[in-house]
Structure 1
């Protein structure tokens, strides 16, 4: 093999090494979902996670495998008597991988990783905060206001 051929083969291997689409087994990611209300973690709360690639269900606290994508992941959690909340988890491209991919593939790897979602990831732990639902007071059982003593 000529010197130019060896150099071309070495460059091709380096280019493939920087592209997550070609080097990773999957574009899936496991995320852990927790639900909090009034500074306490709740259990048995149903959550639907979705992005443009699909929908996934998990009972919080719990783990679920989602498809990575360049766009946000929506987390919608609810339970009767507790309430409902929706949070949005932003997808992030690893800066180290981005620089390596752009340098080694001339930007082609970045385009492939953006299209497939392989170069992006969501935060590994997602926390949804459900606001406390105020129960209406029954006027018959409400306490009378106390008199102030000065």
Structure 2
């Protein structure tokens, strides 16, 4: 009988330690910058959005956004200069895998839903396309990944 309370006291902290929702924030600070022809372009208006929010920024700037397991879409435009539509996938961080092992998968689903176990790159460099490259055609639909 004495063994169960002691075992629970030792195992419970290990289970909680693996939970990214408890040890990490659901927010992330990122730097957004735009480049055209290998040069940084300032004053570009961008909209960043994922399945949990939408953020507006004029580059270059730091912005705090909410993390998600889903992709981050970036739509930018500067009149007379250029445009860009990009998609950035989130990456699983190390705490999520520890959470999967230590909580038998329960914490994994919590972290996936809150975004706490995922990160976007700390610097988002958006490659702009010159307005002249459009040849009179409209840009692709928002959120389309260009390579």
TM value normalised by structure 1: 0.83
Over 4 Å off, 4+ runs? none
What value does the CA root-mean-square deviation take over the aligned residues? 1.5
Distance 1:103 1:130 in 2: 42
Please say which structure displays the higher CA radius of gyration.
Answer: 1
Distance 2:97 2:85 in 1: 33
Where structure 1 has 5 or more consecutive residues not aligned to the other structure, the ranges are 136-150
Classify the secondary structure of the residue corresponding to 2:130.
coil
Classify the secondary structure of the residue corresponding to 1:35.
strand
Question: Offset of 1:4 from its aligned partner?
Answer: 1.6
Where structure 2 has 5 or more consecutive residues not aligned to the other structure, the ranges are 134-147
How many residues were matched structurally?
Answer: 133
Question: Offset of 1:97 from its aligned partner?
Answer: 2.2
Distance 2:18 2:128 in 1: 40
Name the structure 1 match of 2:138: none
Matching residue within 110, 121, 124 for 1:123:
121
TM value normalised by structure 2: 0.85
Question: Offset of 1:100 from its aligned partner?
Answer: 1.2
Q: Tell me the alpha carbon deviations over residues 23-66 of structure 1, each in whole angstroms, 9 at most, x when there is no partner.
A: 22x30001111100011100011111001111111111111011
Name the structure 2 match of 1:9: 9
Say if 2:83 and 2:130, in contact at 8 Å, map to a contact too. no
Classify the secondary structure of the residue corresponding to 2:15.
helix
Question: Offset of 1:133 from its aligned partner?
Answer: 2.9
